[in-house]
Amino acid sequence: MERLNIDSGTPWEEAVGYSRAVRVGPHVFVTGTIAAGEDGRIVSPDAGEQAKFIFQKIQATLERAGARLEHVVRTRIYLLTLDDSDSVGAVHHELFSDIRPCTTMLAISDLFTDEARVEIEVDAVIHN
């Protein structure tokens, strides 16, 4: 199967050696995504707002890979505190209540930047 690496042009991709997403056949894997804008700054201190921004970035990445949100089969959500689970979960519900992918949400001790409160990655399988 052909492999397609999708990059967003951030300096971290080159420095660390990863892609924003990888498509192999009908499978698309989107790397952990934080709410950093093009200038590298986190867009909001609020975890729910960060999640909205992250899912917009993920949706654009999926589209570049030929996929849509309805193709998502798994989401993984990493939070700094479970206190943010309701606001982030509400954003997830808004996008995925009909799609219902497998989901993991857990709290971890640290994320890539001090301002990030949530990081999300997704896996998709293109069908139809």
Residue 38: the pLDDT is 80
Please report, for the domain that includes residue 27, its CATH number: 3.30.1330.40
Q: C-alpha angle 38/11/25, rounded to 5°?
A: 90
Query: Comparing 37-41, 46-50, 75-79, 85-89, which segment has the lowest mean pLDDT?
Result: 37-41
Taking only the tens place, the pLDDT of each residue in 6-63 is 998 777 788 889 999 999 999 999 999 999 988 888 999 999 999 999 999 999 999 9
Counting the structural domains of the chain, the total is 1
pLDDT at 81: 96
Confidence of residue 117 (pLDDT cuts 50, 70, 90): very high
The percent of residues in the chain predicted with pLDDT above 90, rounded, is 83
**Helical (H) or strand (E) element with 122:** strand 118-125
Q: What is the pLDDT of residue 128?
A: 75
Measure the CA angle with vertex 97, ends 71 and 113; round to 5°: 75
Cα gap 68→2, rounded to integer Å: 19
What is the residue range of 76's domain? 3-125
Angle between helix 85-96 and 47-64 (nearest 10): 30
Query: 3-class DSSP state for residue 22?
Result: strand
pLDDT at residue 88, rounded to an integer = 98
